[in-house]
Structure 1
Amino acid sequence: MTDPVPVAVPRKGRPLEAVLERFAAVTDGERLDRLADDVSNTLRYEKAVTKGSVEADEGPYERLAEYSDPATPAEPEFTLLRDDRDGKPRRIVFDAATVELGDVTVKLVGREEPFRALRTHEFALGFDSADLVLEEVVEIRESGLGTIADINDRIDPVDTDVRVVTGLGDTVYHTLMGRQDRRDPNTTFDREYLTDYEGPLCISPRYERLVTAVLGTDALDGVEFVYPDAHEEEEGAIARFGLGVYLTVTGSTAREHGLSVGEHLFPSETVLMRNAAETEESVSRVLRALEREAADSEIRV
């Protein structure tokens, strides 16, 4: 029997749900739909337990034993990790599942940082946030970038063999927004606005490189990165400084802070990646099956 093709996936959250939904979408039958629902429901419940909004009837080891059956490869497995929140609470996260994808068997393997696992050649295929690719390997240039399709052109082949194949469409956006009362009539907070702007730009502390890659160094000439205070809402900090970049879906909370939502600068999206140095035919079969759903997508690289 041929060994399953290992694919690195996130352990929890929206990116993992997007991956499971993609596998379900390209497969006939209900089994992967049930897998996606079971894993998503389990992890949402465990997130609520970790945050303290739900009190579990049993301890984490008892719940883990209930969720996982390593003797049944067709069922998902979970594992227990220490969360990075205050107090380092234990959290149950996705560990692995074996699925049939057309004519190839795939083993989904949970990793904290799937992108880095591909960079070190632990996996040929994997899924992770496009944000992490921008934060780590995309070249900084004078001009910015605005689409998933732009990423590969800005990856130095000397730096990594990993390339983006396609996005999964679970999109929220890094969005430019600012105080309505500081915007001139008939103007929009967009890239053009930034070309003449000088002053503070509020961002999350870990996004300096990402925002620089997205906007380009020319647009940031005369701009100073500033950051929210500890425990301060990002929208509130942007309102305090006047202009900023924040991840948003609807922008409703931003408007409650008196902010005008401007240009969607870049999609924060889960992406399928491959290590181009890994050329096994089984890897190509997995890619062909996964890309079937994305063949007509505008976000396909």
Structure 2
Amino acid sequence: MTETVCVAVPRKGRPLEAVLERLAAGAGVHALADEVSSTLRYEKAVTKGRQHPDRDVYERLADYSDLSDPTSPEYTLLRDDRDGKPRRIVFDSVTIETDAVNVQLVGREEPFRSLRTHEFALGFDSADLVLEEVVSLRPDGLDSLADVNARIDPRESDVRVVTGLGDTVYHTLMAKPEVLPPGAELDREFVADYTGDLCISPRYERLVEAVLGTDALTDVDFAYPAPDADEEEAAIADTGLGIYLTVTGSTARDYGLVLGEHLFPSETVLMENPTEASDATEDVKELLTDQQLETAIEA
């Protein structure tokens, strides 16, 4: 009988879509990947009020999930964080059969923490969470995924990053032009010489410390957008200097901000807890990484 390996994945959003795209390439399940992604995008539109279905949430949930077929995707209900705590349909699980091993994707709210507690040998989550939780803070910063494993204290976690999936956006420096002296580059060296407020999202405080290094932040005070702020870029414009995720940077430019150095890639990563590894998990790693999409990270 072919062995089944359970892999922890996010329940929704860009990281889950990145995992599905990688499996579509590795296992040829393009139709399945498209089905799950389109279903979750539709349900996100429902929670945002952009779609108004005729069927209630339980009818849609029953229609999406075929419990008689383990290779058919299953979904579940969660309470959304928005006002009123509406129910939201999210991914639960699916089994993908291959010649070498069966891969069961299992939805988790916090896949990284599921690996830390040894529930899974393999899982996918945002690289940001690794920096926020277990990467040690040092005087010098880091700027690539390849640096991450060396910064994980083995007393804090057994989990290691295997590879990134390439769904990259960046934590990017941005500033009002008047903050920059003539000819100055908006980069790490500028921050190291800077004195004043740096606007960031509160959840990224430890990540920014890890990326820039504690020495660069000696004379810097963190400022945060108001809880009801519509755009982080607007708060950065008010502060003068900040860091936020960018894809095209168009919103930052709308607020008169100059884009500077891409400090660190925010992308989905494959992680492993080596203490739970087996021959079967090695087969899954090969399936997920032998596609020339990214360079695997040395432990």
**TM-score of the superposed pair, with normalisation by structure 1:** 0.96
Q: Is the 8 A contact 1:101 1:286 kept in 2?
A: no
Aligned ranges for residues 263-274 of structure 1 at < 5 Å? 263-274=261-272
How far apart are the structure 1 equivalents of 2:67 and 2:42? 21
How far apart are the structure 1 equivalents of 2:150 and 2:106? 28
Q: What is residue 84 of structure 2 aligned with on the other side?
A: 87
Equivalent AA in structure 2 for residue 246 of structure 1: Y
Structure 2 residue 195 is the aligned partner of structure 1 residue 188: no
Equivalent AA in structure 2 for residue 275 of structure 1: N
Equivalent AA in structure 1 for residue 251 of structure 2: T
Alpha-carbon offset, residue 291 of structure 1: 1.3
Q: Is the 8 A contact 2:134 2:152 kept in 1?
A: yes
Q: Is the 8 A contact 2:200 2:222 kept in 1?
A: yes
Task: Pick the aligned partner of 1:241 from 239, 242, 249.
Answer: 239
Q: What is residue 203 of structure 1 aligned with on the other side?
A: 200
Aligned ranges for residues 57-206 of structure 1 at < 5 Å? 57-206=54-203
How far apart are the structure 2 equivalents of 1:135 and 1:145? 13
How far apart are the structure 2 equivalents of 1:151 and 1:300? 9
Q: Is the 8 A contact 1:7 1:107 kept in 2?
A: yes
Aligned ranges for residues 38-49 of structure 1 at < 5 Å? 38-49=35-46
Q: What is residue 56 of structure 1 aligned with on the other side?
A: 53
Alpha-carbon offset, residue 231 of structure 1: 2.0
Equivalent AA in structure 2 for residue 16 of structure 1: L
How far apart are the structure 2 equivalents of 1:202 and 1:258? 15
Alpha-carbon offset, residue 102 of structure 1: 4.3
How far apart are the structure 1 equivalents of 2:137 and 2:234? 29
Identical columns (%): 66
Q: What is residue 291 of structure 1 aligned with on the other side?
A: 289
SS for the counterpart of 2:112 is helix
Q: Is the 8 A contact 1:5 1:107 kept in 2?
A: yes
Q: What is residue 231 of structure 1 aligned with on the other side?
A: 228
Alpha-carbon offset, residue 299 of structure 1: 6.2
Q: What is residue 16 of structure 1 aligned with on the other side?
A: 16
Deviations 1:41-99 (A, max 9, x none): 00000001011111111100000000000111111111111111211110000000100
How far apart are the structure 2 equivalents of 1:166 and 1:255? 32
In structure 1, the gaps of 5 or more residues are: none
How far apart are the structure 2 equivalents of 1:62 and 1:106? 28
Equivalent AA in structure 1 for residue 209 of structure 2: T
Task: Pick the aligned partner of 2:257 from 248, 259, 262.
Answer: 259
Alpha-carbon offset, residue 256 of structure 1: 0.8
SS for the counterpart of 2:275 is coil
How far apart are the structure 2 equivalents of 1:276 and 1:181? 49
Q: Is the 8 A contact 1:148 1:299 kept in 2?
A: no
Deviating beyond 3 angstroms after TM superposition, the runs of 4 or more aligned structure 1 residues are 298-301
Task: Pick the aligned partner of 1:219 from 216, 238, 242.
Answer: 216
